[in-house]
């Protein structure tokens, strides 16, 4: 296993928490840190949402306004359904 000069292994460093990502608003100059759960990249299943209406269609697919089914206070989100031709080209 590879080591740094101080004896810490690279594998141990990789498991350590990454440096926080801080975003700055171009309008107010206010800085805010991106929460770790956002960086995890988790996606929820489409079946967890109820489609309310169609917002638009573009090159990559269809965007619909949807509401979560499983939450106590429903949240409104945009659900993007990727076109089959785009998905096939990506694989």
Q: What is the pLDDT of residues 52-62, one digit of tens each?
A: 999 999 888 89
Residue 5 is assigned to a structural domain of this protein: no
Q: From CA 61, how far away is CA 78, in angstroms rounded?
A: 12
For position 33, what pLDDT does the model report?
A: 87
What mean pLDDT comes out for the span 4-11? 52
Give the pair of three-digit tokens for residue 13: 């460093």
Domain count, the chain: 1
Q: From CA 18, how far away is CA 33, in angstroms rounded?
A: 13
What mean pLDDT comes out for the span 72-80? 85
Q: Which CATH number do you get for residue 69?
A: 3.30.200
pTM: 0.46
Residue 17 is assigned to a structural domain of this protein: yes
User: Which one has a higher pLDDT value, 9 or 68?
Assistant: 68
- How open is the CA angle 64-21-61, to the nearest 5 degrees? 20
């Amino acid at each position: 296993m590879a080591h740094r000069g101080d004896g810490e292994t690279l594998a141990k460093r990789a498991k350590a928490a990454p440096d926080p990502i801080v975003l700055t608003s171009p309008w107010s100059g206010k800085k805010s840190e991106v929460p770790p759960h956002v960086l995890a990249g988790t996606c929820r299943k489409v079946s967890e949402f109820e489609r309310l209406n169609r917002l638009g269609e573009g090159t990559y697919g269809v965007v619909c306004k949807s509401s979560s089914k499983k939450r106590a206070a429903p949240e409104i989100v945009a659900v993007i359904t990727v076109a089959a031709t785009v998905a096939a080209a990506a694989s």
